């Protein structure tokens, strides 16, 4: 590891990166690679929908760790994996965070591996950052905006989506910020503790 990476706030920190089903999943390969290069111990968790966009194998190779994509599969732990993984995390980043996952987390539902693991994270001392990413109409739905307000009140960190080109070939708000912006948000959250 370089001297520069040893000084980054992420160095030596245990970070869970959760992917949900959005077209912006492809950007997370760069985020996970950069976190790993900076000395973070990264574990990737993915909803079934996320695995339709990018493969667990990519993230297993980038992190050198198992990828959790099924709540019923216990890939490395004798404890319930959602408890042991959640306990060990210094920070959780969910990116891209789908409209569906925002709704689930706002309601406290736990029926997939990402929402299940997040349910066992203590947000009073382990930051959970959500990076919503979706079409502008989906982002502006009253249900989405209600869920965002609820999630803020429940002590989730929200990384605001960018405005610009969207995969649906329109311009608007809802774009996932670029990898460096996501890394800045992670470092800021870790640097505060």
Binding site for ligand FMN (CB under 6 A): 20-24, 47, 49-50, 98-101, 112, 133-134, 138
Cα dihedral across residues 150, 154, 155, 157: positive or negative: negative
**36 versus 98: smaller Cβ distance to ligand FMN:** 98
- Provide φ and ψ at 158, rounded to 5°: -110, 120
- C-alpha–C-alpha distance, residues 174 and 114, integer Å: 21
Token output for 17: 């990166």
Give, as one character, the DSSP assignment of residue 190: H
- The encoded tokens of residue 74 equal 């216990």
Q: 41 or 100: whose CB is closer to ligand FMN?
A: 100
CB of 6 to ligand FMN, least distance (A): 35
Between residues 90 and 112, which has the closer beta carbon with respect to ligand FMN? 112
Structural contact between residues 46 and 18, judged by C-beta atoms closer than 8 angstroms: yes
Residues taking part in catalysis: 168
The conformation of residue 176, written as its DSSP 8-state character, comes to: P
> Smallest gap, in angstroms, from Cβ of residue 50 to ligand FMN?
5
* CB-based contacts of 7, cutoff 8 Å, min separation 6: none
9 vs 174 by CB, closer to ligand FMN: 174
CA atoms within 13 A on the CB side of 156: 28
Shortest distance, position 116 Cβ to ligand FMN, whole Å: 11
Provide the token pair at 102. Answer: 């925002």
Whose CB is nearest to ligand FMN?
Answer: 21
Shortest Å distance, C-beta 12 to ligand FMN = 30
């Amino acid at each position: 590891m370089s001297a520069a990476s040893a000084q980054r706030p992420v160095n030596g920190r245990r970070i869970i990166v959760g992917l949900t089903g959005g077209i912006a999943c492809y950007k997370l390969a760069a985020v996970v690679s950069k976190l790993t290069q900076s000395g973070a111990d990264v574990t990737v968790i993915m909803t079934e929908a996320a695995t339709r966009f990018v493969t667990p194998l990519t993230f297993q190779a980038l992190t050198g760790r198992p990828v959790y994509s099924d709540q019923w599969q216990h890939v490395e732990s004798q404890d319930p994996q959602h408890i042991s993984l959640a306990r060990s995390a210094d920070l959780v980043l969910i990116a891209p965070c789908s409209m569906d996952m925002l709704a689930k987390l706002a309601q406290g539902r736990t029926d997939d591996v990402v929402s299940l693991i997040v349910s066992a994270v203590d947000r009073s001392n382990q930051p959970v950052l959500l990076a919503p990413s979706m079409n502008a109409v989906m982002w502006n739905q009253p249900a989405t905006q209600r869920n965002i307000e609820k999630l803020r009140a429940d002590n989730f960190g929200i990384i605001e989506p960018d405005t610009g080109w969207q995969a649906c070939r329109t311009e608007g708000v809802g774009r996932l910020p670029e990898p460096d912006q996501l890394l800045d948000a992670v470092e800021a959250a870790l640097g505060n503790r």
